[in-house]
Amino acid sequence: MHSLDFVIAAPDRGIENSLRTKIDRKTKPLGALGLLERTALKIGLIQQRLEPAFSQPQLLVFAGDHGAARAGVSAYPQDVTWQMVENFLAGGAAINVFARQNGLQLTIVDAGVAHDFGKRAGLVDAKIAAGTANYIETAAMSAGQCAQAVARGAEISRKLAAAGCNVVGFGEMGIGNTAAASLITHCLTGTPLAECIGRGTGLDDAGLVRKQALLESALQRYRSAGGDNEPLAVLAEFGGFEMAMMVGAMLGAAAAKMTLLIDGFIVGSAALTAARLAPALTEYCVFCHRSAEPGHAAQLRGLGAEPLLDLGLRLGEGTGAALAFPLVQSALNFLNEMASFESAGVSEKE
């Protein structure tokens, strides 16, 4: 599983000095807007413009079920996945509230939920199967299913880009997916598994010990079968359909030179996988927040990422990306609207 037809080149740096000069000539001390300055520079490079602008901002929430959820890796029953998708479609979840507030169009993608929704407004049916297999006993998905999920995700991004969207946020829903993200993070960063495992949706101490034991046994099974750390193999082994589809959507979005808004731990595991496949992907990513899940720190280190927010969030759904979006917009607004020393007639530092 190595053949991926994505050409993701780093943005051309020819415009970088002009962008830096524009940022530095604003009426402020050098570097005084901190991470906002680095964000403005990044998006200017992505768009290859001195006046970057967002059009048709979109948030995609990918939903899928995990066979391992039935083995007890989560505090919640598996039915919560489809029930939460219904909540998204009814407009009642946290992500609906924040997307509405911040002008993000929201689309829910059924990548592999164990439920039949029928045709619904706001729902893209891209279902690969009714949930993955239980990775404690066997691979979560076949290589073919994984490739299909990646391809469908890429197609979703291509369609958005063709319709004029140039910024896309990523979110997910899938009971059991923090466990899958923990395994992927361990395999792709080498961080000890125990440091990649958290309480997810709220496991108690006994539940956390059980989760660790289950994930250790899944890892042992994979290793004893000769499993390596090749990104797509790891994704197929432990990932969910929502995660694999998100990997494809990220690769497709970066190939289309969109700005990617990366949420927390589960979206981060997809970003980590995509970046291992195409290292230039990170140059199209704005890392929106630092999750309270312990494994997220390992991902951010592995990606060399500096997140915008640290609010102790661990909700998923893309909520961190939606909350950070106004800050990302602020980065563009200061670049485009703030006066320069020359234009404002303000004296500079002696």
Q: How many CB atoms lie within 10 A of CB 349?
A: 6
Q: Which two tokens stand for residue 67?
A: 């066979």
Coil, strand or helix: which one is 168? strand
Task: Give Cα separations from 74 to 80, 136, 224, 234, 324 (angstroms).
Answer: 11, 14, 25, 21, 27
- Please state, in angstroms and rounded to a whole number, the distance separating the CA atoms of residues 148 and 184: 19
For 188-211, the DSSP string reads HH---HHHH---TTT--HHHHHHH
For 25-68, the DSSP string reads TBSS-TTTTHHHHHHHHHHHHHHT-SS----S-EEEEEEE--GG
Instruction: Let me know the angle formed at the C-alpha of 165 by 159 and 167, rounded to the nearest 5 degrees.
Output: 120
Which residues carry out catalysis? 317
